[in-house]
Amino acid sequence: MLKEITVVGAILIENGKILCAQRGEGKSLAYLWEFPGGKIESGESSQEALIRELQEELLIEVDVQPDVFEQTSYQYDFGLVQLTTFICFLKKGTPQLTEHIAAEWLEPKELNQLEWAPADIPTVEKLMEMGIVE
């Protein structure tokens, strides 16, 4: 039986653009793009995990909106990923890459220019349908 991995992702918005992060070499899903975030640790809420992960990965502080933006499941060869994404706004700092190899700020209509990790694609499609993010 494949393990289930529960993760959160940030739709980090600034000036109508969304932060997209590229996974590094040697990681699962190497070179694919994702919404930054990570695994929820024991005892954490989804929002708490996202705040912690963004502090660790990008050295920033964010405001996480209370409502879930999208929930998706995707079966990879290493396990079943349950991804929950939230809209976030930058509160303090400038994103610094500590785990990713690249980052881009893109408008929703530009998101399909990147090769996304499969679990992130439903969120990408929903953002592109909305067209504008505030």
Residues 6+ away with beta carbon under 8 Å from 63:
88, 89, 91
**3 state SS of 62:** strand
Q: How far apart are CA 119 and CA 71, in angstroms?
A: 9
CB-count exposure of residue 43 (10 Å: 0-12, 13-18, 19+) = exposed
Give the model's pLDDT for residue 79.
93
**Could you state, in order of their start, the residue ranges of all structural domains in the chain?**
4-130
Q: How far apart are CA 101 and CA 109, in angstroms?
A: 23
User: What class is the 4-130 domain?
Assistant: alpha beta
H helices of the chain, where?
A: 46-58, 121-130
Give the model's pLDDT for residue 134.
62
pLDDT one digit per residue (tens) for the chain, 134 residues: 779 999 999 999 999 999 999 999 988 899 999 999 999 999 999 999 999 999 999 999 999 999 999 999 999 999 999 999 999 999 999 999 999 999 999 999 999 999 999 999 999 999 999 876 66
Please measure the distance between the N-terminal and C-terminal CA atoms of the chain and give it in whole angstroms. 41
Nearest alpha carbon to residue 24 among 122, 83, 97: 97
Give the model's pLDDT for residue 39.
95
